[in-house]
Amino acid sequence: MRDSNMLKWLWLSLLTVILDQGSKLAISSSMQLYQSIQIMPYFNLTYVHNTGAAFSFLSEAGGWQRWFFAGLALVISAVIAVWLARLKPRETLLAVALSLILGGAIGNLIDRLAYGYVIDFLDVYYQTWHWPAFNIADSAITLGVILMLVESFGFWKPEDASKKLDPEKHSEE
C-alpha cells in the first residue's frame, strides 16, 4: 500500500474552509450588500456577491456558470485529494500548497452551492483603481499556487536544507 501520510495536511484544508466560511458569515450578517468599510489606506472591507469566477470572470453569463464552476470545483477537489494521497513524505511544500488550494476550492464551492454566488469582501485599492474583491478562499488558492511554483522551480529542496543543517552526516554522500 502506498504511504498516504501526506493526507495529514488535510487539516490545513479544513482550517481554510472554517476561516473562509466564518469570515463570510461574519461579513454577510454584519454588512449590507455593497457596503464598504475602510480598514486602512488602500484596504477596505466591501461586501459583494460574485456570480463568476476569479475576478468576476463570466459573472454576467446568465446563470449556467454557477453549475459549471461548481462541477469544476468538485472535479478539481477530487483530483487534488488523489494527488495529495499519492505524494511522497518529502513533498511537504507541495502537500501544503495542494491543501491550501483544496480548502479554497471547497470554501468557494460551498458558497456556489448554497447561494449561487461567492461572497467576496477583501478590497485592495489605490486611488480610484480597485483590485477585484476577493475572500480568504481566493487568498488560500493564490498562496497555494505560489507555493506550487516555488516548489516546481526548485527553490525549496528539503534534502538540501538537511545537508546544510548537518554537513557531517551527509559528508559520505
* 172 located within any domain: no
* The predicted structure's pLDDT at residue 82: 94
pLDDT band at 70 (very low <50, low <70, confident <90, very high): confident
How many domains does one find in the chain? 1
* The predicted structure's pLDDT at residue 73: 85
What is this structure's pTM?
0.82
* 65 located within any domain: yes
Residues assigned a catalytic role: 120, 138
* The predicted structure's pLDDT at residue 114: 93
Sheet-wide strand order for 36-40: 36-40, 43-50, 118-126, 129-130
Residue pLDDT, tens place only, 136-171: 999 999 999 999 999 998 876 665 544 544 555 555
Q: Which residues contact 115 (CB under 8 A, 6 or more apart)?
A: 49
* 139 located within any domain: yes
| 66/88 Cα distance (integer angstroms) | 35
pLDDT exceeds 80 at position 78: yes
Residue pLDDT, tens place only, 1-36: 454 589 999 999 999 999 999 999 999 999 999 999
First-to-final CA distance of the chain: 29
| 131/122 Cα distance (integer angstroms) | 9
| 11/18 Cα distance (integer angstroms) | 10
Residue pLDDT, tens place only, 106-132: 999 999 899 989 999 999 999 999 999
Residue pLDDT, tens place only, 97-111: 999 999 999 999 999
Better pLDDT: 69 or 86: 86
* 171 located within any domain: no
* The predicted structure's pLDDT at residue 11: 97
* 173 located within any domain: no
H helix or E strand, kind and range, residue 122: strand 118-126
The shares of helix, strand and coil residues in the chain, as percent rounded to the nearest 5, are 60, 15, 30
Q: Which range of residues forms the domain containing residue 151?
A: 5-165
The C-alpha cell at 71 is 462541477
Q: Which residues contact 82 (CB under 8 A, 6 or more apart)?
A: none
